[in-house]
Amino acid sequence: MSALHKKFGSDYQVVTTTSSSHQKDKRRKRQRFVDKNGRCNVQHGNLGGETSRYLSDLFTTLVDLKWRWNLFIFILTYTVAWLFMASMWWVIAYIRGDLYRTHDEKYTPCVANLYNFPSAFLFFIETEATIGYGHRYITDKCPEGIILFLFQSILGSIVDAFLIGCMFIKMSQPKKRAETLMFSENAAISMRDGKLTLMFRVGNLRNSHMVSAQIRCKLLKSRQTPEGEFLPLDQLELDVGFSTGADQLFLVSPLTICHVIDTKSPFYELSQRSMQTEQFEIVVILEGIVETTGYKGSRSLFLL
> pLDDT of 170-224, one tens digit each?
877 766 666 777 888 888 888 988 889 989 888 888 777 777 888 888 888 888 8
Assess contact for 247 and 216: CB atoms under 8 A. Answer: yes
Select the more confidently predicted residue: 3 or 250: 250
Classify residue 40 by its DSSP letter. Answer: B
| Strands in the chain per DSSP E | 111-112, 137-138, 181-183, 188-192, 195-204, 210-224, 230-238, 248-249, 255-260, 280-290, 296-302
Chain segment 269-299, per-residue pLDDT in tens: 888 787 777 778 888 888 887 766 655 555 5
How would residue 301 be classed by pLDDT, with cut points 50, 70 and 90?
A: low
- For the chain, the helix, strand and coil percentages under 3-state DSSP, each to the nearest 5: 40, 25, 35
Q: What is the pLDDT of residue 223?
A: 82
Closest CA to 62 of 165, 138, 139: 165
pLDDT at 18: 43
β-bridge mates for residue 214, sequence order: 248, 287
Q: Supply the pLDDT for residue 277.
A: 77
Residue 29: per-residue pLDDT? 58
